[in-house]
């Protein structure tokens, strides 16, 4: 199976490395990135037949079976469309596009081309989240009543990465993972969103109109409620925690490295230097790899990805509603947002 990777930054270089060592009849056939340093970083470590500056060249040479898209979010829509039109299966990082209108247009083209599309909500491949889902679906906590999530990044991101025109902004770039977990773990769609957001620690983000901290309340179609907190400035580490409270109990997932196991625990800025591996890859390395394996498995067995365009659109709708809610200070009903198609 011949697979290409578009975008060779923190995620793309990890995906390229995972594919190069996956075995299973998979060959890392092509990589592309406009930045020569990113290309050199991958080409010097991995054996790749085609190293390209321009992603479009990927679809003009020898035929690829699939492509992994890990470029900035603002480039995803064009690249998904190009891959779908070339008849290539797609694993795309979140979000698929920066507006609802664009997301829907992309999904229409993917559908018309009958292309396989998986979206990178890798938390669903994390062992802890899988166990939580099984426990909830088996009825072990009764009827789910409250979804509670915390997602904190350790440091303010670079403006180059996080500029809302490139990443989609805090909600679409970061909280979208929690919105996907919310729909998945609660087995219910979100119908209303109320959000508060502020710029409190990452001054540079304010200069490009984004916030760095937010709390988002969710109302689910089945009547349940939820709350998501996201922050760009945890300082003590990368902290992703989720709890679902049900009528008969609760299930929670956290990172054992940072989640307090009882009593109060001080979490301070670490004195050790990070070892150069991005924080999210340290935490979710096995999940990212399992996500790629599952994508390959879908292609080998002609199975549809479990996390496809419907999920990409649904989580993005919540992210748009959350963005508009903090901007307008009003609750946003998803039915109204869909009608506006923004
Ligand atoms: N699932 C997760 O947990 C997770 C974590 C981090 C990032 N991401 C996502 O992965 C994607 C990439 O993020 P990253 O952290 O690797 O970013 P990054 O800034 O480290 O890397 C982006 C790379 O894309 C290249 N690039 C820029 N424009 C391009 C284009 N038009 N075509 C191809 N490549 C282009 C850049 O030169 C750079 O090498 C984003 O969509 C982001 O939302 C997901």
CA 46 to chain centre: 25
Q: 71: Cβ below 6 Å to ligand 1?
A: yes
pLDDT digits over 294-308, tens only? 999 999 999 999 999
Tell me what pLDDT residue 256 has.
57
Q: 122: Cβ below 6 Å to ligand 1?
A: yes
Contact 243, 222 (CB under 8 A): no
- What the chain holds in terms of domains, given with CATH numbers, is 2-120 (3.40.50.720), 123-268 (3.30.360.10), 276-340 (no CATH)
Q: How far, in Å, from the CA of 166 to the mean position of ligand 1? A: 10
> Look-up: residue for tokens 């989240």?
129
Q: 120: Cβ below 6 Å to ligand 1?
A: yes
Q: 10: Cβ below 6 Å to ligand 1?
A: yes
pLDDT digits over 39-97, tens only? 999 999 999 999 999 999 999 989 999 999 999 999 999 999 999 999 999 999 999 99
Residue nearest to atom 6 of ligand 1 (CA): 11
Nearest-atom index, ligand 1, CA of 12: 16
Which stretch of DSSP H or E encloses residue 166?
Answer: helix 164-167
Go through 287-305 and write b for each residue having 16 or more CB atoms within 10 A of its CB, e for each that does not.
bbbbbbebbbebbeeeeeb
Its pTM stands at: 0.94
Tell me what pLDDT residue 119 has.
98
- pLDDT at 331 > cutoff 90: yes
Residue nearest to atom 10 of ligand 1 (CA): 70
Q: How far, in Å, from the CA of 12 to the mean position of ligand 1? A: 7
Contact 97, 79 (CB under 8 A): no
pLDDT digits over 23-39, tens only? 989 999 999 999 999 99
């Amino acid at each position: 199976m011949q697979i290409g990777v578009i975008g060779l930054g923190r995620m793309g270089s990890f995906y390229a490395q995972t594919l190069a060592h996956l075995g299973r009849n998979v060959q890392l056939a092509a990589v592309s990135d406009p930045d020569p340093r990113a290309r050199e970083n991958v080409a010097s470590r991995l054996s790749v037949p085609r190293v390209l500056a321009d992603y479009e060249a990927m679809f003009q040479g020898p035929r690829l079976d699939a492509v992994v898209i890990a470029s900035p979010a603002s480039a995803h829509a064009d690249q998904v469309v190009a891959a779908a039109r070339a008849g290539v299966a797609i694993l795309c990082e979140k979000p698929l596009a920066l507006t609802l209108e664009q997301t829907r247009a992309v999904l229409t083209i993917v559908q018309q081309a009958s292309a396989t599309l998986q979206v990178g909500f890798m938390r669903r491949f994390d062992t802890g989240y899988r166990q939580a889902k099984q426990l909830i679906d088996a009825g072990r906590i009764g009827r789910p009543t409250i979804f509670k999530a915390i997602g904190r990044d350790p440091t303010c991101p670079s403006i180059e990465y996080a500029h809302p025109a490139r990443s989609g902004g805090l909600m679409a770039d970061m909280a979208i993972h929690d919105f996907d977990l919310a729909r998945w773990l609660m087995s219910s769609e979100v119908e209303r969103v109320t959000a508060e957001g502020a710029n409190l620690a990452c001054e540079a983000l304010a200069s490009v109109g984004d916030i760095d901290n937010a709390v988002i309340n969710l109302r689910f179609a089945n009547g349940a409620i939820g709350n998501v907190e996201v922050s760009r400035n945890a300082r003590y580490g990368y902290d992703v925690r989720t709890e679902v409270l049900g009528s008969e109990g609760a299930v929670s997932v956290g990172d054992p490295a940072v989640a307090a196991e009882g009593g109060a625990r001080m979490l301070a800025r670490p004195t050790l230097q990070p070892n150069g591996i991005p924080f999210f890859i340290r935490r979710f390395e096995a999940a990212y790899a399992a996500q790629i394996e599952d994508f390959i498995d879908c292609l080998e067995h002609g199975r549809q990805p479990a996390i496809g365009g419907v999920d990409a659109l649904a989580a993005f709708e919540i992210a748009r509603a959350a963005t508009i809610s903090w901007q307008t200070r009003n609750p946003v009903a998803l039915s109204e947002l869909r009608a506006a198609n923004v």
